[in-house]
């Protein structure tokens, strides 16, 4: 293209500027990967006032543009002030992205396929379907899985309840008598989804390992039915967020099948562990669920956002989201791929090409290496639990469950009632210090330090540093 072909207000760059911009972006991306490998969690934990100064939050709307150099410098400053998912970052459930997934996500933005339907992004749609099948096979759910990639576990859980509703009941029924069942350990997004839909959520008792009690579930469903309520769905956990507990999926599936209700498994965090040969037995019965969600940005090492909402039967999502649903479900079996529309299977219309980063990771590393990385995370959490159990000044409060270990510091000079406050102070100091990063959980009413290891770079030395740093900051 010559300059005379450009319209006055084109947003295109000169070839020189475009080259400089993309080279700068590559350099910054390399720096981010390096910072996540070697850096502290924060270069320097910033205050809100410092962030405001750095961004210039009260700066007016730029009227005229700036140079490539100025823009890159501004981006570099923003990135440098962010939190890094370093090998000592054990807070929340957040993995660093695999470098190959970062590169693929850049390409997804460049290509900007809009995954509304096969017609808008034919190859991208085929890649999404293949990715869903691969993920379904990876965790032993269904090698022919169907479904859709959504933004996260919260959207997937909301979608699951909507699908369950339409699978079990008619569209016009009063929802107030409808009931969803889940253990009290369930992620808050399930309660949020139930409230949004106007259905009730019944908490079900757990056993000593914080797993849903199938006997209590059976009784809760039966007594609700006897009281004239309408059970529609059980949500089982394949890895709770607090302690990594996996509900007894096979027994829960039997209860759900006997009761004729939908079974959704929330595996947003933990389901990838089903690919670890040493952990697979915990997930027996996973394939019996009607739907399953897995956050690729949690433990399949994808950058946010990407959650696989998997099902065995595409007619179920079509019934819930399809335009002209029932007719649509009838033709679904015979429709050619060319007429496939994601909008008939989920809440969104415009959708980014979320599959590419996960597809690239599965292709490049393969299932064996990915499962090995997940398995190593689990073994490191077990190592941390061993260290805690062996230390006189620490107490293991839960776990290890999958890759999560909950514990507290219990030096003899701190009385029992003061332990919560003592550990809370340690957590605040840790989060400011930045060498290792933990979050917290409440275990039987006690304040626990919680380490969740979902980082393919974390080593035994990183895990061993946790106790040293906690002891140092406690002084
Ligand atoms: C994180 C999490 C969610 C919510 O997922 P988002 O991707 O953050 O929306 C749901 N369930 C479980 C078990 C989780 O750990």
> Average of pLDDT values for 282-297?
98
Question: Residue 273: is its pLDDT beyond 60?
Answer: yes
CB of 241 closer than 6 angstroms to any ligand 1 atom? yes
Window from 36-45, 101-110, 144-153, 385-394 with minimum mean pLDDT: 36-45
The pLDDT score that the predictor gives to residue 113 is 96
Distances (CA, A) of 15 to 18, 106, 218: 5, 19, 66
The pLDDT score that the predictor gives to residue 152 is 98
CB of 187 closer than 6 angstroms to any ligand 1 atom? yes
d(CA 212, CA 190): 15
How sure is the predictor about 420, in pLDDT bands with cuts at 50, 70 and 90? Answer: very high
Dihedral-angle region of residue 405 (phi above 0 means left; psi in -120 to 50 means alpha; beta otherwise): beta
CB of 279 closer than 6 angstroms to any ligand 1 atom? no
Question: Residue 219: is its pLDDT beyond 80?
Answer: yes
How sure is the predictor about 399, in pLDDT bands with cuts at 50, 70 and 90? Answer: confident
Q: Between 337 and 75, where is the model more confident?
A: 75
Tell me if 166 sits within 8 A of 319, measured CB to CB: yes
Window from 41-45, 209-213, 272-276 with minimum mean pLDDT: 41-45
- How far, in Å, is the centroid of ligand 1 from the Cα of 241? 8
Distances (CA, A) of 223 to 174, 195, 203, 205, 217: 19, 22, 14, 15, 10
Neighbours of 57 (CB within 10 A): 9
Model pTM? 0.95
CB of 93 closer than 6 angstroms to any ligand 1 atom? yes
151-188 pLDDT tens trace: 999 999 999 999 999 999 987 788 999 999 999 999 99
Residue nearest to atom 7 of ligand 1 (CA): 152
With tokens 């839960």, the residue in question is 398
The whole-chain average pLDDT of the chain stands at: 94
CB of 450 closer than 6 angstroms to any ligand 1 atom? no
The pLDDT score that the predictor gives to residue 8 is 84
The pLDDT score that the predictor gives to residue 434 is 84
Q: Ligand 1: which of 182, 298, 347 to mutate, most ligand atoms within 8 Å of CB?
A: 298
d(CA 26, CA 273): 32
CB of 153 closer than 6 angstroms to any ligand 1 atom? yes
Domain 368-474 has CATH 2.40.50.100: no
Residue nearest to atom 10 of ligand 1 (CA): 153
- How far, in Å, is the centroid of ligand 1 from the Cα of 272? 13
- How far, in Å, is the centroid of ligand 1 from the Cα of 266? 8
How sure is the predictor about 60, in pLDDT bands with cuts at 50, 70 and 90? Answer: very high
Question: Residue 325: is its pLDDT beyond 60?
Answer: no
- Fold for the domain defined by 100-365: 3.40.640
- Sorted by sequence, the CB contacts under 8 Å of residue 105 that are 6+ apart come out as 97, 302, 303, 356, 357
The pLDDT score that the predictor gives to residue 472 is 96
The pLDDT score that the predictor gives to residue 306 is 98
How sure is the predictor about 197, in pLDDT bands with cuts at 50, 70 and 90? Answer: very high
Question: Residue 261: is its pLDDT beyond 80?
Answer: yes
From-to residues of CATH 3.90.1150.170 in the chain: 368-474
Question: Residue 459: is its pLDDT beyond 90?
Answer: yes
The pLDDT score that the predictor gives to residue 381 is 98
Q: Which atom of ligand 1 is nearest to the CA of 186?
A: 13
Question: Residue 70: is its pLDDT beyond 90?
Answer: yes
Residue nearest to atom 5 of ligand 1 (CA): 153
How sure is the predictor about 326, in pLDDT bands with cuts at 50, 70 and 90? Answer: low
Question: Residue 328: is its pLDDT beyond 80?
Answer: no
Tokens of residue 91, six digits: 């807070």
The pLDDT score that the predictor gives to residue 331 is 60
CB of 295 closer than 6 angstroms to any ligand 1 atom? yes
CB of 189 closer than 6 angstroms to any ligand 1 atom? yes
The pLDDT score that the predictor gives to residue 327 is 64
* Percent above pLDDT 90 for the chain: 86
Closest by CA to 37, choosing from 80, 85, 101, 92, is 85
CB of 267 closer than 6 angstroms to any ligand 1 atom? no
Q: Between 106 and 43, where is the model more confident?
A: 106
CB of 154 closer than 6 angstroms to any ligand 1 atom? yes
From-to residues of CATH 3.40.640.10 in the chain: 100-365
């Amino acid at each position: 293209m010559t300059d005379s072909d450009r319209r006055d207000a084109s947003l295109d760059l000169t070839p020189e500027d475009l080259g400089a911009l993309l080279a700068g972006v590559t350099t910054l991306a390399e720096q981010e990967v390096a910072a996540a490998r070697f850096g502290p969690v924060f270069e320097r934990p910033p205050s809100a006032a410092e962030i405001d100064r750095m961004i210039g939050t009260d700066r007016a709307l730029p009227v005229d543009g700036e140079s490539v150099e100025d823009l890159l410098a501004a981006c570099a400053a923003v990135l440098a002030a962010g939190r890094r998912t370093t090998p000592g970052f054990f807070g929340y459930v957040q993995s660093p992205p695999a470098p190959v997934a970062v590169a693929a996500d850049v390409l997804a933005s460049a290509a900007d396929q809009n995954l509304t339907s096969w017609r808008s992004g034919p190859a991208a749609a085929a890649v999404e379907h293949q990715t869903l099948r691969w993920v379904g096979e990876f965790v032993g759910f269904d090698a022919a899985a169907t479904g859709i990639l959504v933004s996260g576990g919260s959207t997937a859980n909301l979608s699951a309840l909507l699908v369950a509703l339409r699978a079990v009941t008619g569209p016009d029924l009063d929802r107030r008598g409808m009931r969803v069942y889940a253990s009290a350990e369930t992620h808050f997004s399930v309660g949020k989804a139930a409230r949004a839909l106007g259905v009730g959520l019944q908490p079900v008792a757990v056993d000593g390992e914080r797993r849903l009690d199938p006997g209590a579930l059976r009784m809760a469903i039966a007594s609700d039915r006897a009281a004239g309520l309408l059970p529609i769905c059980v949500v089982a956990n394949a890895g709770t967020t607090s302690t990594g507990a996996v509900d007894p999926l096979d027994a829960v599936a039997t209860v759900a099948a006997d009761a004729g209700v939908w079974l959704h498994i929330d595996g947003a965090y933990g389901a990838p562990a089903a690919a670890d040969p040493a952990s697979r037995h915990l997930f027996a019965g996973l394939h019996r669920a009607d739907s399953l969600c897995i956050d690729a940005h949690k433990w399949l090492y994808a950058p946010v956002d990407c959650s696989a909402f998997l099902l065995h039967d595409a007619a179920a999502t079509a019934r819930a989201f399809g335009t002209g649903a029932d007719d649509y479900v009838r033709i679904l079996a015979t429709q050619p791929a060319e007429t496939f529309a994601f909008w008939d299977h989920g809440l969104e219309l415009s959708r980014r090409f979320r599959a590419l980063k996960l597809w690239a990771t599965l292709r490049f590393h393969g299932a064996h290496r990915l499962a090995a990385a997940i398995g190593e995370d689990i073994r490191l959490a077990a190592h941390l639990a061993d260290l805690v159990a062996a230390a006189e000044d620490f107490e293991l409060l839960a776990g290890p469950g999958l890759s999560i270990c909950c514990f507290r510091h219990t030096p003899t000079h701190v009385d029992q009632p003061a332990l919560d406050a003592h550990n809370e102070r340690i957590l605040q100091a840790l989060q400011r210090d930045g060498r290792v990063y933990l979050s917290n959980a409440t275990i039987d009413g006690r304040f626990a330090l919680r380490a969740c290891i979902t980082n393919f770079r974390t080593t035994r030395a990183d895990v061993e540093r946790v106790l040293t740093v906690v002891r140092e900051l406690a002084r």
